[in-house]
Amino acid sequence: MPHKKMTIYEDSEIRLFFKKKSKYISTSEYETITNILEKIKHNEDNDFTKLKEEGDLEYRKGSYKKAIELYTKYLDEKQSPVIYNNRAACYYKMKMYSECVADCKAGLLLEKNNIKFYVKIASAKLECNENTEALEWSEKGLNVEKENRILQEYIIKINDIKISSV
C-alpha cells in the first residue's frame, strides 16, 4: 500500500519523538526505526531525482506542458529553487509570463540571491512591455550580481526605449 511521502520536517519530528521515548525502546529498536527512516528518505530522494530528470528531459524535447506537470508534481511534495527555476523556464518558453514570474518569486523566497530568478523576471516583464518593472528587477538583480551582463543590457535597452518614446 503506497504511503504519503514524509517531509524533512516530519522526518525530524519522528526522530525527535523516538529519541525522547528511547527509555521505552531498546537501542536496537531505535536503530531499526532510524534505518527505516533513512531508507524512506533515500527512496524519496530517488523519486524526486527521477521526477526532476524526467522534467528536464521533457523540457529538452520541447514538451513544456509535460515538463510543467512533472515539476509541479515535485513541488507538490517538496519546495526546491531549482525546480521553481526549471518550471519558470517552461512557462517562459510557453509565453506564460505571469506564471513564470510567480515561480521566480517563489524561488526567491527559498534562495534570495539566485540571479537566474532576477534575469527571468526582468525578461518576462520586458516581454510584457512592463518596462518599469523590468528595470526594477534588473536593478535588484544587479544588487545581487553587479557584473551581470544580461541585466546590464536590459537596463540599456529599457533606457533606449524611454528615450525613443519621448
Q: DSSP letters of the chain?
A: ---PPPPHHHHHHHHHHHHHTGGGS-HHHHHHHHHHHHHHHHHHHHHHHHHHHHHHHHHHHT-HHHHHHHHHHHHHH---HHHHHHHHHHHHHTT-HHHHHHHHHHHHHH-TT-HHHHHHHHHHHHHTT-HHHHHHHHHHHHHH-TT-HHHHHHHHHHHHHHHHT-
* Mean pLDDT computed over every residue of the chain: 87
Most confident range (mean pLDDT) of 22-26, 40-44, 161-165 is 161-165
* Residue ranges covered by each domain of the chain: 81-166
At 26, the pLDDT band (50, 70, 90 cuts) reads confident
Average pLDDT over residues 136-150: 98
Q: Could you tell me which residue, 117 or 38, shows the higher pLDDT?
A: 117
Residue 40, Ramachandran bin (φ over 0: left; ψ between -120 and 50: alpha; else beta): alpha
Give the lowest-confidence range in 6-10, 114-118, 127-131, 159-163: 6-10
| C-alpha cell at position 102 | 510567480
Residue 73: pLDDT above 90? yes
**Residue matched to cell numbers 526594477:** 136
| pLDDT over 50 at 1, yes or no | no
CATH class, range 81-166: mainly alpha
The x, y and z cell numbers of residue 79, run together, are 519546495
Provide the pLDDT confidence category of residue 3 given band limits of 50, 70 and 90: very low
Is the confidence at residue 20, as pLDDT, over 60? yes
Q: How far is CA 94 from the centre of its chain?
A: 18
Q: How confident is the model at residue 103 (pLDDT cuts 50, 70, 90)?
A: very high
Q: What is the residue whose three cell numbers read 527505516?
A: 36
- Segment 144-156 shows an average pLDDT of 98
pTM: 0.74
